[in-house]
Amino acid sequence: AQSVTQPDIHITVSEGASLELRCNYSYGATPYLFWYVQSPGQGLQLLLKYFSGDTLVQGIKGFEAEFKRSQSSFNLRKPSVHWSDAAEYFCAVGAQGAGSYQLTFGKGTKLSVIP
Amino acid sequence: DTGVSQNPRHKITKRGQNVTFRCDPISEHNRLYWYRQTLGQGPEFLTYFQNEAQLEKSRLLSDRFSAERPKGSFSTLEIQRTEQGDSAMYLCATKTGTGGLETQYFGPGTRLLVL
């Protein structure tokens, strides 16, 4: 069964600083990988996804993520954080050929932004 | 707004009562998923439908839970004899296609509080 680990429960950065959120996954084959963002009391919005090809993927709102198979990682990055980026971020893995293609999520990383 | 709607957005009930939530998907989306998100956790898969057929249920879905998707359109999730442990955000997600490539679009969720 697949699993996702987000080692950082809470990260605080200053506005304008760079950001990296860590995600490690466990899956026996090449996974489908996703990053979602959730604002308080809201549903999840997709930031970006990786299926195959170029290991550096670009998403919305200036986010990017890099798939590293050797490290089983899919870290999310942003060069300059804005106050509106404060939210909770979830990494998720979807299994290939699993029928339902259900997503398995990490526990999330809460991002706080200092003005 | 992803185009997936959920009602009600909030529900407070007393232990032992029955509750029903509704999810209206994006019209052309044939797959519909229910997830549960408890405080401090990522969403966890409950069940999914392909059109009107319920094809997979998680072990989290006890016999007090039932889900339907008549005619392959909207879906309902009913919890009978609610318990305090059922307090959570219930998220609906929908997607097109039959593979894992397509994005799951999440609704805003229904937050349930069982007193």
Interchain contact, B104 vs A103, CB within 8 Å: yes
User: To the nearest whole angstrom, how far is the Cα of B50 from the nearest Cα of chain A?
Assistant: 9
Check if A7 contacts B (Cβ < 8 Å): no
Is the pLDDT reported for residue B99 higher than 80?
no
Rounded to the nearest 10°, the torsion over CA B2, B8, B11, B17 is -130
pLDDT mean over A54-83: 95
Count Cβ neighbours within 10 Å for each residue of B1-40 and write b for 16 or more, e otherwise.
ebebbbeeeebebeeeeebebebbbeeebebbbbbbbeee
Chain B CB within 8 Å of residue A40 CB: no
- Interface check for A42 against chain B (CB to CB < 8 A): the answer is yes
The torsion defined by the Cα of B38, B41, B43 and B47, in degrees rounded to 10, comes to -60
Share of chain A above pLDDT 70, in %: 95
Q: Which pLDDT tens digit goes with each residue over A15-68?
A: 999 999 999 999 877 788 999 999 987 889 999 999 888 899 999 999 999 999
Low-confidence winner among A40-54, A100-114, B78-92 (lowest mean pLDDT): A40-54
**Beta strand B31-37 pairing with B44-50:** antiparallel
Closest CB to A100 among B42, B55, B101: B55
Determine the pLDDT at residue A97. 53
Residues in chain A: 115
Report chain A's mean pLDDT, rounded to a whole number: 91
> Within 10 A of A50 (CB to CB), how many other CB atoms are there?
20
* Chain B contact for A100 (CB, 8 A cutoff): yes
Q: Do A44 and B43 touch (CB under 8 A)?
A: yes
Across the A:B interface, residue pairs with CB atoms under 8 Å apart total 69
Higher pLDDT, A45 or B28: A45
Chain B contacts to A (CB-CB under 8 A): 2, 4, 6, 31, 33, 35, 40-45, 48, 55-56, 91, 93, 95, 99-101, 103-109, 111
Residue B1 per-residue DSSP state = -
Please tell me the distance in Å from B94's CA to the nearest CA on chain A.
Answer: 11
B2: confidence class by pLDDT, cuts 50, 70, 90: confident
